[in-house]
Structure formats: structure tokens, C-alpha cells
Amino acid sequence: MEEAFSDRERSFILLSQLENPADERYADSTYGGPNTADYVFLLSKAEVERYMPTDADRIARATDYANNNGLDVEVYNGVAGSDWFIRTPGSSQYISGAYTDRGYWTWYQAPTVHGIRPAMWIKVN
């Protein structure tokens, strides 16, 4: 936070109370984790589906910084996208939930060359 945002920018970022449930398909075998309070966080699967309702909405386009630091970028139907992690776990405690470069949900065992899409809630006057 100190490096990425100015004092003024940080004053707009809200502390968010986050629930961390397991994916409903794997709730019997995977624990999502305790609730947390964070300023910057990864979206859950439910949040992604709420705020990015279509596969096209979920395609992550890489920043120059990510491209220059090894992010895996794929081109499909003329659109460059990258896989990205979410905070909802995948099919086990050791598998991370993610969305693909084409915008659909999957899971990966880390480490990989996939990205993240940090999220935050801000105050708007």
C-alpha cells in the first residue's frame, strides 16, 4: 500500500470485511478459510460472477508491468488475455481457484505464471 498508493489515494481505500467460503462444489473437501479484513484483496468466485457476469467480462488484459515480468499471455479470437487467481480455493486445499484467459472458471496448483487482479472498495464523494 505504501509503495503503490499516495497518502491521498490510500485515504480513499476502505477496509473490507471479506467472507472466504469454499466453492460450493467442493465444500465437503475444501475449507475456504476464516473471514478477513483487508484493504486490497482478490475477488471470490461469487464476487467475480456478480461483478463480471459474462466470460468476456472476465478476460484479464495484462498490464505492461505484468507482461515485462513473465505473465503468460494467450491470444484467442484476437483477444489477448491471461489466467488469473481468485481467493476462492479450487478442488482441494492445495489448488487455487482461477479464471482462464478465455474468462471461465478453473483451478491451478501454484506456482504458475498466471496473474492476479487486485480489488478494493473506495470512498466516492
pLDDT score for 80: 86
Residues with pLDDT less than 50, the chain: none
pLDDT score for 110: 65
3-state secondary structure the chain: CCCCCCHHHHCCECCEEECCCCCHHHCCCCCCCCCEEECCECCCHHHHHHHCCCCHHHCECCCHHHHHCCCCCEEECCEEEECEEEEEECCCCCCEEEECCCCCEEEECCCCCCEECCECCECCC
Q: Give tens-digit pLDDT for 24-48.
A: 888 787 888 899 999 999 999 999 9
pLDDT score for 69: 87
pLDDT score for 30: 85
CA–CA dist 95, 106 (Å, integer): 10
